Amino acid sequence: MAEIAIETRDLNLWYGTFQALFDVNIRVKQGMITSLIGPSGCGKSTLLRTINRVNERLGYVRTTGAIDVMGEDIFAEGVELARLRKEVGMVFQRPNPLPLSIRDNVLFSHRIHRGDEKVSRAEEDALVEDALQQVLLWDDVKDRLSQRATSLSLEEQQKLCIARLLPVKPSVLLMDEPTSALDPKATEALEALIWGLRGSYTILIVTHNMAQARRASEECAFMLLGKMMELGPTEELFLSPELPETADYIEGRYG
């Protein structure tokens, strides 16, 4: 049986006085791709941003309950947010490359997290090549690593944003609708990339695209009105959901 990479227990979250998550319980298996589906505003992205505590930047967010990542309580006293966000990388809806060269983008997080450790140019070059190879971008950009990352296509930019996370060796990749800004061909390419990363990383992906959830995930979770309704193997959830609410959503009767 697969080990559990992410586990939430009775997780509640409020934005000010508005409650967005209600007693959410989910167990995400290590090394697998799990998709989160549900209508807009149901809490999918909120849940994702809670797993690496990005929501706390807002200042008016309050949570109760527990989240364990790789067996560690992320809300425990003494948890360093920098170390947590090294362990749990985040990819957003729109690519957000830094206004730096392709090479410096890939090395950005690594340079922050290495502190005073000395790393040679050759070692950095190896990190850049390895990360870009993993996201299937190396052959396209190896001769223009000094070019500004913002000059890349949207597909290439999103691949680069994933590559930027890899040199710090995260265990978990959170992806919030990573293909929503891409055309169908680029979406297909990014889905293939994500599928290729499974096993090496635990991936939790938010998507509104039912076909994408079915194609590109091994397990699927359905959320509704801030609650976790159902979680199971993707094909089983799509073919024989346990709850009528899940069936209604999958079959397009609402959402």
* Amino acid in position 244: P
Do 69 and 87 form a contact (C-beta atoms < 8 A)? yes
Per-residue model confidence as pLDDT tens digits over 135-174: 999 999 999 999 999 999 999 999 999 999 999 999 999 9
Return d(Cα 100, Cα 9) in angstroms, integer: 40
Is residue 115 situated within a structural domain? no
Give domain status of residue 100, yes or no: no
Residue 141 lies in a domain: no
Query: Is 104 part of a structural domain of the chain?
Result: no
pTM above 0.85, yes or no: yes
pLDDT tens track for 198-227: 999 999 999 988 999 999 999 999 999 999
Residue 198 lies in a domain: yes
Classify each residue of 223-242 as buried b or exposed e, where b means 16 or more C-beta atoms within 10 Å of its C-beta: bbebbbbbbbebeebbeebe
Can you give the pLDDT at residue 230?
A: 96
Res 59: pLDDT: 83
Tell me the per-residue pLDDT of 13-31, one tens digit each, with 9 for 90 and over: 999 999 999 999 999 999 9
* CA-to-CA dists, residue 191 to 106, 212, 215, angstroms: 20, 8, 8
* Least confident segment among 32-41, 104-113, 226-235: 104-113
Confidence of residue 82 (pLDDT cuts 50, 70, 90): confident
For residue 251, how many C-alpha atoms fall within 13 Å in the half-sphere facing its CB?
Answer: 10
Q: How many domains does the chain have?
A: 1
Tens digit of each residue's pLDDT (9 = 90 or more) over 91-142? 998 899 999 999 999 999 898 887 667 888 999 999 999 999 999 999 999 9
Return the CATH number at 60. 3.40.50.300
Q: Facing residues of 172 across strands?
A: 88, 202
Q: Could you tell me the residue range of the domain that residue 226 belongs to?
A: 4-95+170-250
In this prediction, residue 147 carries a pLDDT of 97
pLDDT value at residue 1: 59
**107, part of any domain:** no
Task: Flag whether 185 is in a domain.
Answer: yes
Q: For residue 140, what pLDDT is reported?
A: 96
> What is the rounded distance in angstroms from the CA atom of residue 127 to the CA atom of residue 109?
12
Give the pLDDT confidence score for residue 254 in this predicted structure: 64
Residue type, 118: K
Tell me, yes or no, whether 163 lies in a domain. Answer: no
